[in-house]
A and B are shown apart, each in its own frame.
Chain A
Amino acid sequence: MNAPFDRPLGAAPHLEPGVHVGRPLPRPNAKRLVAGRGNYVTDMKRPRMLHAAFVRSPFAHARIVRIDVEAARAAPGVALVATGEDLAKLCTPWVGTLDHFKGMKSEPQLPLPLERVTWSGQAVVAVVAESRAAAEDACELVEIEYEDLPVLADLDTALAPDAPRLVEGFADNLCFRSALESGAVDDLFASAAHVVEADLAFGRHTGVTLEPRAIIADYDASEHALTVHHGTQTPFQFQDLYSRHYGIPEARVRVAAPDVGGSFGVKLHVYHEDMAVIGLSMLAGRPVKYVVDRLEAFVSDIHARDHRVKAKAAVGADGRILAMAVEDETAIGAFSTYPRTSAVEGNQVIRLIGAPYRLEAYRADLKVVFQNKTQTSQYRAVGHPIACAVTEHLMEKAAAATGLDPFEVRARNLISDDAYPCQSLTGFKFEQLSHEACLAKLKTLMDYDRLRAEQAELCARGIHRGIGIAAFVEITNPTPAFYGIGGARISAQDGAVIKITPSGEVRCLISVTEQGQGTEAIIGQIVADYLGVSRDIVRVITGDTEVTPHGGATWACRGAGIGGETALQAAKKLKANVLNVAAAILQAQPGDLDLVDAEVVDKAGGTVRLSLAEVARIAYFRSDTLPPGTDAQLTVAHHYAPSGYPFAFTNGIHGCHVEVDAEIGLVKILKHFVVEDCGRIINPLLVEEQVRGGVVQGLGAAFFEECRYDEAGQLVNGSLADYLVPMSCEMPDIVIAHMETPTRDTELGAKGCGEAGTAASSAAALNAVNDALAPLGAELTQIPMTPARILKALGAY
């Protein structure tokens, strides 16, 4: 077990005093949260605020025959009841496709349906009342008559040639299909010393943000203006969507995200209820609040994963993986999520398989299949856990076929650290990764040889321990090649405004957002260093379209890489302005001055000449004393968009150590190890906590989390008692080590770290469990690895 605080607060012996970037500093904004002063949308009130509740479909697929809302309208406290028709008059439909995904199709969506429901739990009628309780009471008075339609609740049913079409007029039940081929795949398989194969299944799971989704819309007809307080990662995206779909000028739409109680990708998609709440506020002429309850969250928050992959690899006698061929079938919802679609995960799966390794040929086929289930879309580490598990499971099979140790087979296949820049067979351009160094470091970190010796000794005594490793490549910092090129108005750039206050303090308003990762903390560290002040006088403000410049916000690990570079360049620009004003005051040359700890100093010698506070005082209150023509710009704006490599890539490797109880099928996770390379580390404390949190979400997928449906398309475990998320007693301590390979695309050099933990932890766990079960002749090819599945693999029933 780790000792607490094995690293003193803020310690960074390799850094000069006064340097903030690289130092493990706590988050200034966390003090408010530990004092019970959080301000989440669920906590917020607006004057005359009403509350919405929704009547939801009990059927997975049905025609709406009749809706009777009269009794609900007459119920006490009810302000209005709205159906699909009422909101369709206000809100234009949306379609979740991207132009660069050729042939992609999806049915147009409205806030509430007009004719039919396509998943169980879909909101059908909205009731708005003086309290949530009154709204829910009135929901019970709404009568809806349905007529059953055929339900597509599994992949085989939906893919059958004679399957009923989920959408009338569609040729099939495929949202999207894609194929990749590179190199002489068939030849390599024909001539390979070994061909290893696997059919793998990945359960559907969901984000389970502890604060459920929440929104308060306040439409003001007098100004034709809309204010939305929204628990979201992406306020600018929603400003654009609410503006365009409801015809409200963009400049009059404000979206503010205060404290957000977890997101992980869940809170950046369009949800029907959220869109409805905008219209409900317009209809009511009052603020309307809606908070998803936990049961509603399970049937309406995006789900993710749900893949079935048939994979094989051609292996040389020396353990070299020569080629891979995969078929991925993934089950989404009844439509593609807007505006980021439900096809990105599958697309990333087939493009990331094999990514850490030197393949000579690769073939992939992807089918994205409609289901009468909750929509699926991007959730933390989109596609990575599947790609990683497929690759690393095949790697284990290659090791077994050739008699190599898992570390040795990887060492023979990883892209060499001196081979960069290079390109994957799927088209990804890698600037510089550090797989070999990470592999070596993990072996030491785990004390691998000792663990193997211990495993053999314990196995002889009937104790089954397993060791699994899994290397990963993670996609970060997307350019417009990700969404913009496909027509989505999702920004790849970010913007910052930094100002010196009249007292010589600093405010930074930036478009990247905070959901607890520490965005504001790292931006503050960067601004402090590149401006030349102490972190204590920098105030960072995020999450409100009314105050910060437009930007992509926080997703795909872009907060540090793109947001950080934006802040860095803005800070440098402001520093130059400060030194210009100071030079005018001091009758010096700006180039001879520097700003250090909020003091203007002589660059040579460091003599203090003037405080930043004095520069600000003069600029703001005594501009009459400045030399004529002095341009005192103590507020700067800067926008930055990545323009080098289409994506930054990070890399790393996980190790998982488990003990399997073969009698009852339970797995004890003894320890988890990660060596990661996120580029330049701005704050190691925060990087490590991102990795730990990500690992545990991946271990949840590996062992516990699954949205289970019956054949009628009903979610059967939609509560926090039935859907298992990892508890503290089930989770191990997680040992982390770093490599640091900065990207040369930016001055900052950071790449991102939010998804590294989730990308490979389930794959490492799968390999660890299979390693433990190998002496018993059992193997798992499905996650979550529940006790029942483990016992089944062991032939216990």
Chain B
Amino acid sequence: MNMMAGTVPLSLTVNGEEVARMVAPRTTLADFLRTDLELTATHVGCEMGACGACLVLLDGVPVHSCLVFAVQAQGQSVETVEGLVASGALAPLQQAFHERNALQCGFCTPGMLVNAHALIARGSVPDREEIRDAISGNYCRCTGYEAIVDAIEAAARKANGEGAE
């Protein structure tokens, strides 16, 4: 069935800026961000909500942007890694990931950062088991996860004033 012709208006806030576009109703939020807005830090790994590479914050909550239609984000606020990097919100995690080499190919990293950011934003320092549980919806095929757990733990300690050990 041809669905190219029918588009609908969409307005939302992306990384703090008002955005208005015409979109096909079937366009996912991930595709909208990547294709229409060229925000390609949000990655698509499975298109079924399994791998976590597409996580973005939707009104502050991590969601799989491959499982949300763009039109469902009408009137809402989306934050992608580009926005979180620009605002400095991810700086401690970026530094910890870099220093600990908590990434190899980097394809899972944006989704991992969004999830880790939300985890740390809860306030307390999670223990390693909690970190491992929290990122279990983020597949990483390169690192084996331990370095990621280390980096998140270090960033969480820093965020809570403990400093890295």
Residues of A within 8 A of B (CB): 1-6, 9, 26-27, 30-31, 33-38, 40, 42-43, 75-77, 131, 133-134, 137, 140, 207-212, 259-264, 293-294, 515-518, 685-686, 689, 692-697, 719-721, 725-731, 733-734, 757
Contact = CB atoms under 8 A, between A and B. Distances in A.
Given A4-B150, A294-B48, A686 B136 contact: no
| Closest 9 pairs between A and B when the two form their complex, measured CB to CB | A33-B106, A36-B41, A516-B104, A261-B107, A516-B105, A696-B144, A692-B144, A43-B40, A36-B81
B116 to A, nearest CB: 11
A725 B138 CA distance: 11
Contact of B164 (A5, A134, A731): A5
A30 B147 contact: no
Interface in B119-142: 128-129, 131-133, 135-142
Contacts of A43: 34, 40
A719 B48 contact: yes
A518 B106 CA distance: 12
Contacts of A693: 104, 141-144
B98 A31 contact: yes
Interface of A is mostly: loop
B26 A34 contact: no
Interface of B: 1-5, 24, 26, 34, 40-41, 43-48, 50-51, 53, 80-82, 85, 90, 93-94, 97-101, 103-110, 113, 128-129, 131-133, 135-151, 153-154, 157, 164-165
B23 to A, nearest CB: 12
Contacts of A1: 128
- Chain A CB count within 10 A is highest, among B97, B128, B141, B151, for B141
Query: Helix, strand, loop or mixed for chain B's interface?
Result: loop
Contacts of B53: 210
Nearest to A40: B107
A729 B98 contact: no
Given A36-B110, A38-B109, A685-B101, 13 more contacts: A3-B165, A27-B101, A34-B106, A35-B94, A211-B107, A261-B43, A692-B146, A693-B141, A693-B143, A720-B50, A725-B141, A728-B131, A728-B148
Nearest to B110: A36
Given A721-B50, A729-B133, A210 B107 contact: yes
B139 A293 contact: no
A210 B81 contact: no
Q: Most chain-A Cβ atoms within 10 A of its Cβ — which of B90, B110, B131, B146?
A: B146
B43 A42 contact: yes
B107 A134 contact: no
A728 B145 contact: yes
Nearest to B24: A133
B137 to A, nearest CB: 8
20 contacts: A4-B151, A5-B154, A9-B99, A34-B94, A34-B106, A34-B113, A38-B107, A131-B4, A133-B3, A133-B24, A209-B105, A211-B107, A261-B105, A262-B141, A697-B141, A721-B48, A727-B136, A728-B138, A733-B146, A734-B144
Contacts of B165: 3-6
A686 B53 CA distance: 23
Contact of A26 (B99, B105, B153): B99
A42 B110 CA distance: 15
A210 B51 contact: yes
Contacts of B46: 294, 719-720
Given A26-B101, A211-B105, A689-B101, A293 B47 contact: yes
B106 A38 contact: yes
